Structure 1
Amino acid sequence: MPYVRSVNVGGPQEVTWLGRPVVTGIFKRPVEGRVRVRRHNLEGDGQADLEKHGGEYKAVYAYAREDLDFWAGELGRDLSDSAMGENLTTVGLDVTGAVIGERWRIGSALLEVVQPRRPCFKLGLRLGDPDFPQRFGPAARPGAYLRVLEEGELGAGDEIVVEHRPAHGVTVGLVAYAYFHDKSLAPRVLAAPELAPGARQTWERFRRHAG
């Protein structure tokens, strides 16, 4: 059974990156015990740039331990849980293959997959590698942003029960691949009605331009 290996939270902090100060919430740490899942985030978690991070459609970010291990091999160094700034480090769940609109029951919370991550420079900051975002996106191992359908509590060790999987088959991996490699797939991406509204607007533009 898939499960949550760690629950990771952290608030905004100022760091120096490439010679300038940056405020970021990407430095998260595993926490013990039960964590409250709220509509826009996990209790104790925070984001610095609320235009690009957080909110209803980026309330929780999940990344697979298996994908962290892939990147550890690519980078030639160990990567700890939370290395991608994720809130939930999962085991035994194909996060890349998760379908947009898929619903996960974790503890007493119900979460819905709504979009993949598109990397910004802060991912390079987190890993100490300014070129890493350019590698992360095209690899199509984006992790999944989740919205909260039912608030509750969860913790490390909780099983992840997939309660619903839409039949359209549009996965977070497909959306990420389409964005970085083939935007002509826009009609396929838009077949997922559960796609986050902001992402849907972007893909509607891609479809119009392709036409």
Structure 2
Amino acid sequence: MQVAALYAGNPAPLGPRKALSAICKQPAYFLTVHQDRTDEDTQANKRLHGGPEKVLHQYSLAGYELIKQHYPALAEQAIAGTIGENITVEGMTDENVMIGDVYTFGEVVVQVGAPRAPCTKINQRFNSPNLDRFTGNHGITGWYYRVLQTGIIHTGDCVSLESRPAQTVSVGELMRSVYNPDYFARASDYVGLEVLDDEWRGKCEKAMAKAGR
């Protein structure tokens, strides 16, 4: 696999309310990756975005395809780089990327920490109410990386899976189990996984309570 594209941006007014958001990113030739940030990309809401557990966000091409299938009017808008992600890699999806996976991107080593929570900013970006709910219900929100080895990622760098926990869950399945009521009961299968952080363990517990588990 290879890095097909990289994206970075700075906060700018978004939507009718002109709230600051960094969802509108531009293609980048490289990203300088540190333990808690990249030099080229900044966030508007640092409470929800960025930091050591959310240094990089990746979104799948398959996610865009599903969006376009259900929202035909977005066929020309919903293209790689428009949901605020930093990385595009063909073949990596919410279903085949697992929590705890360790990948190398060129000289940089990262670990999948958690799914990205559904973000209302995509509703404003695409002028499509409830698009965030659609991505959450279908488990196509993308995922965040924590950084194990810093360095520079370049467009075209090789991407390889270095290790995978023996017991884990896909990004998409975990997202659905805590967000989609039809899947809440499944959260009981994942709440005990060591690869989950406290935040997502708590989300699983809440989903289990709603499911009566």
Instruction: Please confirm whether the aligned pair reaches a TM-score higher than 0.5, indicating the same fold.
Output: yes
Question: Where does residue 40 of structure 2 map in the other structure?
Answer: 44
CA–CA distance in structure 1, aligned partners of residues 155 and 118 of structure 2: 25
Question: Where does residue 88 of structure 2 map in the other structure?
Answer: 89
Question: Where does residue 146 of structure 1 map in the other structure?
Answer: 145
Question: Where does residue 18 of structure 2 map in the other structure?
Answer: 21
Cα contact 1:141–1:173 (8 A) shared by 2: yes
Q: 1:196 to 1:155 in 2, by over 3 A?
A: farther
Q: 1:196 to 1:125 in 2, by over 3 A?
A: farther
Q: Offset at 1:207?
A: 4.4
Question: Where does residue 155 of structure 2 map in the other structure?
Answer: 156
Note the residue ranges of structure 1 that are not aligned, 5 or more in a row.
Answer: none
Q: Offset at 1:46?
A: 1.1
CA–CA distance in structure 1, aligned partners of residues 151 and 169 of structure 2: 27
* Residues 165-176 of structure 1: pairs in structure 2 closer than 5 A: 165-176=164-175
SS for the counterpart of 2:49 is: coil
Cα contact 1:57–1:196 (8 A) shared by 2: no
Cα contact 1:25–1:48 (8 A) shared by 2: yes
CA–CA distance in structure 2, aligned partners of residues 96 and 29 of structure 1: 26
Structure number with the higher strand fraction is 1
Q: Offset at 1:198?
A: 2.1
Q: Offset at 1:50?
A: 1.2
Cα contact 2:100–2:168 (8 A) shared by 1: no
1:60 and 2:61 aligned:
no
Note the residue ranges of structure 2 that are not aligned, 5 or more in a row.
Answer: none
CA–CA distance in structure 1, aligned partners of residues 184 and 60 of structure 2: 25
TM-score (normalizing by structure 1): 0.89
CA–CA distance in structure 2, aligned partners of residues 4 and 95 of structure 1: 16
Question: Where does residue 184 of structure 1 map in the other structure?
Answer: 185
Q: Offset at 1:80?
A: 2.6
Q: 1:69 to 1:207 in 2, by over 3 A?
A: closer
Q: 1:125 to 1:164 in 2, by over 3 A?
A: same
Question: Where does residue 125 of structure 1 map in the other structure?
Answer: 124
Q: Offset at 1:72?
A: 2.8
Q: Offset at 1:43?
A: 1.9
CA–CA distance in structure 2, aligned partners of residues 125 and 101 of structure 1: 31
Q: 1:80 to 1:194 in 2, by over 3 A?
A: same
CA–CA distance in structure 1, aligned partners of residues 58 and 177 of structure 2: 20
Cα contact 1:30–1:81 (8 A) shared by 2: no
**Structure 2 residue identity aligned to 1:46:** T
SS for the counterpart of 1:202 is: helix
CA–CA distance in structure 2, aligned partners of residues 89 and 31 of structure 1: 11
**How many residues were matched structurally?**
207
Identity across matched positions, percent: 25
